[in-house]
Amino acid sequence: MSTSPSTPSFDGEDAMLEQLRRRNAQSNSAPARGNDLAQRHAMIAEAAYYCAERRGFAAGHELEDWVQAEAQIARSGVGQSKAADSRAAGPR
């Protein structure tokens, strides 16, 4: 599990990301762009829920949870479209 000083990881993060990867792979048979965004949003929402759960759902940290969840999803590569993958690879 990779960690960075600005984005702490938590117990179960790897398992959660692996579950999201499997779910993404099962439903990634050529989705439309809108479906990619909706799926990514749902994955971020689920990850943000787990972030909030870790700290006992204390109010006032919703944005922090969301941003942390976005970072976790981005680091894992889960939910990235094939077009985003090819853009990230750069020109050939």
Q: Render pLDDT for 26-44 as a digit per residue (tens, 0 to 9).
A: 665 555 667 889 999 999 9
The answer to whether residue 91 sits within a structural domain is no
- DSSP-derived letter for residue 11 is T
pTM of the model: 0.55
Tell me the pLDDT tens digit for each residue of 54-86: 999 999 999 999 999 999 999 988 766 554 544
> Range of 71's domain?
13-25+32-78
Residue 4 lies in a domain: no
Instruction: Categorize the per-residue pLDDT at 4 as very low, low, confident or very high, splitting at 50, 70 and 90.
Output: very low
**Residue 81 contacts by C-beta under 8 Å, 6 or more apart in sequence?**
31, 33, 36
In a domain, 64, yes or no: yes
Encoded amino acid at 16, one letter: M
Q: Does the residue 43 lie in any domain?
A: yes
Q: Count structural domains, the chain.
A: 1
